[in-house]
Amino acid sequence: MARQILKLNHISAKGLDRLPRDDYEIASEFTHPDAILLRSHKLSADDIPESVLAVARAGAGVNNIPVAECSSRGIPVFNTPGANANAVKELVAAGLLLGSRGIIEGIHYVNKLYGMTDMAELHRTLEAHKKEFKGGELVGKTLGVVGLGAIGSLVAEMALTLGMEVVGFDPALSVEAAWRLSSQVKRADTLSALFARSDYISLHMPVLDSTRGLVNAELLAVIKPGACLLNFARQEIVNEGALVDALNAGTLRKYIADFPAPQLIGRKDVILMPHIGASTEEAEDNCAIMAAEQLRDFLENGNIRNSVNFPNLSLERVSGCRLSVTNDNVPKILGSLLSILANENINVIDMLNKSRDEIAYNLIDIEGELTESVLDTMRALNGVVNVRLIGRCA
């Protein structure tokens, strides 16, 4: 029977093609879907039917998904790290230019001259007014990059090629991300130090309990006067009241963001875009392909790549019959599971077990006849969250 994928946003056809139609039905409504595929759709725990085995986000941020509830139900949540990083980097480059020159105001001014037919008069008018749109150059200015992961590291690299000084802050920088980073990126010891010395500040961290409202009045009070803040990460990271106060006071010269909010729309010192950081054909394809492939590998093999709540785990198939078991990360459960199999004369050919935080996940390749009642005995074990049989046993 075909697996059913509940698709809650537009997902690129190139990604959907990775889920062959003979084996997968994809639609925006199903009562008992096997998995959910989405982008920015706000998913609540109540929207996730009992039948769901996995949730895949074609994108980086997972703040629209109830990850903790998924974990407690044994549902892995996947994302696509890095797949849209270049798209965001390019929009940040545009943001820096829009923040440094009177580009938007200049274009707006020229459009208002529609209907002026005399070329000489048009020329005189433009030359008289162009001083109103003067800006500054980026070269030699300092960009502070907050969060040096997939996007932040590309933004830092891009700014260096524009001749900017780059200072970075990331308290949880992974070793892999550190290797990617140019040695020309200077390290700020604190966020305040970065805010105090940067002409431009670009935010690239996820929204977490620790980052929600992190850009607050205290931080904006130490900002270098005349600085420009770019937010292509998430709205929730910036405290809106404090932001408006800093703009009104003139300490913050400009706010450029991908997340419009009612009290920011229409302000001359704010440039807002409709969450288009990842809206390029290339990024949409990359994210969709990655999300679909990860989802398929999980549904068909139980393998886990790029989950935000489960351990990464991949086991080559050596038999047609595989158990995928999620349990609480406490002692003795794996032993009990293996005893149940041994009592049934079922041979374990290969297995992998990994844990992450509260969750332990196992793939067990077996040989022998496995009945539904044996599966139920495993499911009834204290601490076992779910047991799935993948493939057919001999």
Ligand X SMILES: NC(=O)c1ccc[n+]([C@@H]2O[C@H](COP(=O)([O-])OP(=O)(O)OC[C@H]3O[C@@H](n4cnc5c(N)ncnc54)[C@H](O)[C@@H]3O)[C@@H](O)[C@H]2O)c1
Among 147, 256, 296, 313, binds ligand X (CB under 6 A): 147
Segment 190 to 229, residues that bind ligand X, using CB under 6 A? 204-207, 210-211
Residues 158-197 that bind ligand 2HG (CB under 6 A): none
Shortest gap between Cβ of 279 and ligand X (angstroms)?
7
Backbone phi, psi, residue 178, to 5°: -65, -40
107 to 146: interface string for ligand X, x by CB under 6 A: ---------------------------------------x
- 347-356 β-sheet, strand order: 347-356, 359-367, 322-328, 384-390
d(CA 77, CA 65): 8
169 binds ligand X (CB under 6 A): yes
Chosen from ligand X, ligand 2HG, none, partner binding at 155 (C-beta under 5 to 8 Å by type): none
Residues 70-89 that bind ligand 2HG (CB under 6 A): 84
Q: Which is nearer to ligand 2HG, 65 or 244 (CB)?
A: 65
- Are 356 and 308 in contact by the 8 Å Cβ rule? The answer is no
The single-letter code of the amino acid at 367 is E
The span from the CA of 122 to the CA of 125, in Å, is 5
**Binding map of ligand 2HG across residues 269-308, x = CB under 6 A, - = no contact:** --------xxx-----------------------------
Query: Is residue 141 a contact residue for ligand 2HG (CB under 6 A)?
Result: no
Q: Which does 39 bind (CB under 5 to 8 A by kind): ligand 2HG, ligand X, none?
A: ligand 2HG
40 binds, among ligand 2HG, ligand X, none (CB under 5 to 8 A by kind): ligand 2HG
Residues 9-68 that bind ligand X (CB under 6 A): 59-61
Antiparallel, parallel or unpaired: β 270-272 and 77-78: unpaired
- Among 275, 305, 317, 356, contact with ligand X (rule: CB under 6 A): 275
Contact with ligand X (CB under 6 A): which of 75, 151, 158, 159?
A: 151
Strand ranges inside 277-382, DSSP E? 322-328, 347-356, 359-367
User: Of 302, 236, 240, whose CA–CA distance to 267 is shortest?
Assistant: 240
- Give yes or no for residue 15 binding ligand 2HG (CB under 6 A): no
CA 340 to chain CA centroid, nearest Å: 40
- Which spans in 198-332 are helix H? 217-221, 240-249, 281-301
- Residue 288 makes contact with ligand X by CB under 6 A: no
Euclidean distance between CA atoms 307 and 340, whole angstroms: 29
Q: Which residue is nearest to ligand 2HG (CB)?
A: 59
Assess 61 for contact with ligand 2HG (CB under 6 A). yes
What are the start-end ranges of the E strands in the chain? 3-7, 24-27, 35-38, 54-57, 77-78, 142-146, 165-169, 186-187, 200-203, 227-231, 252-257, 270-272, 322-328, 347-356, 359-367, 384-390
Shortest reach from residue 127's CB to ligand X, in Å:
38
Contacts of ligand 2HG in 29-58 (CB under 6 A):
39-40
- 311: exposed, middle or buried (C-beta count within 10 Å: 0-12, 13-18, 19+)? middle
3-state secondary structure of 228: strand
- By CB under 6 A, the count of residues binding ligand X is 33
Nearer CB in complex with ligand X: 213/368: 213
Please state the closest distance from residue 277 (CB atom) to ligand 2HG, in A. Answer: 6
Q: Which of the 8 DSSP states describes residue 46?
A: G
Helix (H, G, I), strand (E, B) or coil at 291: helix
Q: How far is the CB of 232 from ligand 2HG (least distance, A)?
A: 9
Give the footprint of ligand X on this chain (CB under 6 A).
Answer: 59-61, 81, 84-85, 88, 146-152, 169-173, 177, 204-207, 210-211, 232-234, 258, 275, 277-278
Give the footprint of ligand 2HG on this chain (CB under 6 A).
Answer: 39-40, 59-61, 84, 277-279
